Chain A
Amino acid sequence: MASIPNLNTLGGGRRGHRLRGGRGTTPTHEDATADSVERGRDQVVQQTDHDASSSRMSAVALGYLDDPYARTFFGHDTEIPKRYPIINRGTYVRTKAIDRLVKQFLDVRPTQKKQIVSLGAGSDTRFFRLVDESSASNLHLVYHELDFEANVNRKRTTLRQSAELSRLLKSGGDRGLTYHLHALDLRDLAVKSPPEIPSLDPQLPTLLISECCLCYLPHETAAAVLDYFSMHIPGSMALVLYEPIRPFDAFGKTMVTNLASRGIHLQTLKRYSTLEAQQGRLRLAGLSDGQAARDVLQLYDDDDWMAPEERERIEKLEWLDEVEEWQLLASHYCVAWGWRGEAFGEAWASRGGSSSIRNIQMI
């Protein structure tokens, strides 16, 4: 398991003092105040992972998702939180849609070694599920997870303490599925001379995943992070995004206000406010071979994404009375994906994905 224990010291130290409260230098009083404000904001963003992890746990406990590792990362002794049916359903759709895009990528050209980079991965379980699912295949995969140091430390502790996960990492490693957990503030990739991410193989077809991650950054920084990968990986590359959209209607405005009152600022939301804007952003990021975007409501209602019998199954799990609210909530989140290179074209252009021309009707 390769890792970067302290990447901030590598990157010229522009933000080197932030996470460690100015250790090593003596900050002026003003610096300290601005520093603590920013540190507070960072903490709020880091804690969004707990929300995601709780929601995942709730959806797993009720049978929406099958994920044996959700409990391990959530904590065996922690009481399973109760989430409303619409949150469970949304968590389900989000997970399934991204799983599917990932699977299509991994299934195409099965002998080719591939790479996945999960931005702000937090307590995500996808790699461990992939190791389970690929036991019969000869999948070769390099899997990177990037997150704040605090989140990475928590995950590392869980990995160390769980015999099951340690075993899984080893058996995966033996089969050619390697896992790298990096403590890295994504903003450090946006500076002039950014650090190298150890073990990132620029020659492999690479899929970036951002589940509610880039949206917390200023849009210039978010774009610079994508540029970083675009420059380092000359070949096939793709990005799958899961983000809120439509901040300008009544529900969207309330969402922005409510999250702001919790200290959560969705900094790219207004810029990438529609499915079309999300696709345009992917195009501009150099993922020029194809882009598509669907909101969660579309994904849920589309038989191609959600088999009717599967929809029927999950509608039986809980009595969902909040139909109008579901439609509101689900139409304010989207999955967007864009790519360049043949591997992704083969994976996505035919089924479920779409070319740039076809996806106009999805807006």
Chain B
Amino acid sequence: MSDLDKAIAQLRACRPIPEIQVRELCYKARELLIEEGNVVTVDAPVTICGDIHGQFHDLMELFRVGGDVPDTNYLFMGDFVDRGFYSLESFLLLLCLKVRYPDRITLIRGNHESRQITTVYGFYDECLRKYGSANVWRYCCEVFDYLALGALVIGAATELEPTDAPFADPSHATTVSEGDEVEVELLNSAGHIVTRHVRDRYIGQSSQLSNPPSSPSQTREQTPSRNGAPGTGATGSSHGSSGNGGGAVLCVHGGLSPLIDSIDKIRLLDRKQEVPHEGAMCDLLWSDPDEIEGWGLSPRGAGFLFGADIVKCFNHKNDLSLICRAHQLVMEGFKEMFQNTIVTVWSAPNYCYRCGNIAAILELGEDGSNAGYAPRSNGDVERSHGASNGVLTERMDKLKGPGRRYRVFEAAPQDSRGMPAKKPVADYFL
């Protein structure tokens, strides 16, 4: 067993590794991360995860639900540390896995991977408490500076390989007819299907039909009506053919920036620094989508709010079918917005041991017909100019999104975590 495997085993047991090992690990991780671009390319299949926030036992639950590394290919969208009681163990374990299986796990930076934020929200204090000095915190912060700012997932299938898992509630069961594309599946932590949504086949033909329901709860009423007789979909348009081009999926922690209109501009940033208070790098880690037009001021005091028009424009220009981001607590674990052009994934159940929310991870499958490679159009600008018909433009504007399988899970049971060693804080007003 190598030292690294030993460290992994120790961290999996939620026991910190010695300071000297942390230093070595951080050094190796930096050497690895320095080679990555600001935007890492990741091939599907991949499982995308949102904020972890030091909730170590829930991270273990995530691995139980989503599969272990290296069997599952993971992409974590930042905010590994702060708030929870085990930021150190959580981040170091992810870092060990990164060093051990560099091609099976991708880590990008969240706004909490910063010196300033970690001194307010707990990671600094935790390191001080667990090691008696700030050295380990300093090593980790140096790693933070090298984390990529985003990831581009390519080769994701536009439809899901239907699982043969049972339905959690048999009355919601839907069978998939030939020609139907399964677009969204929601699975509970036992692996049972909660809902399944079949892609609208007539996408683009009328504005009504081209708006797939934006949340799984809405699909419940619609899916059963799709149980047509087998064969009715025989002429069904597009499914399966690789030429139809599901776009790529951009993953960032926060969102977009008014200073960034193309992914290439992200690639040009000098990322190897503390997260600045403003500017493009700050925005990517701090911004939030919101039901507004254009750009708005963020209540967080950093980054911006951006509306559906901004997302559609950005996705179109960059051949994206979806932006995947984290950063905002969503009670249901995930939330699709703006006609499924952006999704928030949140992976810290019962956030801060207080919020009562459930968590989610997002699985994107591999487009098998295409050997994992999605052709990317270069002439996208001309393409939209060429389409004068409004309906056609609508159709061309929106690339077919990837099939999305969400697995939701709740906080790990109390007995698995033991009580936090830390004295409880005044989480409430008394």
Give A contacts to B, CB under 8 Å. Answer: 48, 51-52, 54-55, 81-85, 87, 90-91, 94, 212, 242, 244, 249-255, 258-259, 262, 264, 315-316, 318-321, 323-325, 328-329, 333
Contact = CB atoms under 8 A, between A and B. Distances in A.
Contacts of A254: 350, 353-356
B430 A51 contact: yes
Given A254-B350, A316-B301, 17 more contacts: A51-B426, A52-B429, A84-B121, A87-B426, A244-B428, A250-B331, A255-B354, A255-B428, A258-B428, A259-B428, A319-B116, A321-B112, A321-B121, A323-B299, A323-B300, A325-B352, A333-B429
The 4 lowest CB-CB distance pairs between A and B, nearest first, are A250-B356, A254-B356, A48-B430, A324-B329
A320 B331 contact: no
Contacts of B117: 319, 321
Interface of B: 111-112, 116-117, 120-121, 125, 299-302, 328-331, 350-357, 424-430
Contact of B429 (A244, A251, A315, A328): A244
Contacts of A316: 301
13 contacts: A84-B425, A90-B429, A251-B356, A252-B356, A253-B356, A262-B424, A319-B120, A319-B302, A323-B300, A324-B329, A328-B355, A329-B428, A333-B429
A55 B429 contact: yes
A87 to B, nearest CB: 6
A52 B300 contact: no
B354 A55 contact: no
A250 B428 contact: no
Contact of A249 (B111, B353, B356, B427): B356
Nearest to B351: A325
A90 B354 CA distance: 16
User: Which label, helix, strand, loop or mixed, suits the secondary structure of the B interface?
Assistant: loop
Contact of B120 (A94, A318, A323): A318
B329 A325 contact: yes
A234 to B, nearest CB: 34
A212 B424 CA distance: 19
B328 A324 contact: yes
Contacts of B427: 87, 258
A272 to B, nearest CB: 16
A249 B429 CA distance: 18
Contacts of B426: 51, 54-55, 81, 83, 87
A318 B119 CA distance: 12
Main secondary structure, interface of A, reads helix
Nearest to A321: B300
A94 B331 contact: no
B429 A212 contact: yes
A249 B356 CA distance: 8
A173 B328 CA distance: 53
A81 B423 CA distance: 12
Contacts of B111: 321
Contact of A52 (B328, B354, B430): B430
Contacts of B355: 250-251, 254, 325, 328
Contacts of B430: 48, 51-52, 212, 264
Contacts of B328: 323-324
B425 to A, nearest CB: 8
B266 to A, nearest CB: 22
Contacts of B428: 244, 255, 258-259, 329
A245 B430 CA distance: 13
B300 A320 contact: yes
A129 to B, nearest CB: 19
B121 A258 contact: no
A244 B427 CA distance: 13
A180 B125 CA distance: 42
Given A212-B429, A258-B428, A328-B355, A85 B120 contact: yes
A87 B120 contact: no
- Give the interface centre of A51, A244, A249, A324 by most chain B CB atoms within 10 Å: A324
B78 to A, nearest CB: 13
Contacts of B121: 84, 321
A85 B425 CA distance: 13
B354 A91 contact: no
B354 A258 contact: yes
A319 B278 CA distance: 13
A318 B425 CA distance: 19
A325 B121 CA distance: 13
A118 to B, nearest CB: 16
Nearest to A324: B329
Contacts of A320: 300-301
A94 B429 contact: yes
Contacts of B356: 249-254
B301 A315 contact: yes
Contacts of A315: 301
Given A55-B429, A212-B429, A258-B428, A251 B354 contact: yes
Contacts of B352: 325
Contacts of B357: 250
A288 B132 CA distance: 59
Nearest to B352: A325
Contacts of B429: 52, 55, 87, 90-91, 94, 212, 242, 244, 333
A10 to B, nearest CB: 29
Nearest to A255: B428
Contacts of B330: 324
A130 B344 CA distance: 48
A315 B302 CA distance: 12
B351 to A, nearest CB: 7
A48 B426 CA distance: 9
A82 B124 CA distance: 13
B245 to A, nearest CB: 35
Contacts of A85: 120
A149 B321 CA distance: 66
A325 B425 CA distance: 16
Contacts of A51: 426, 430
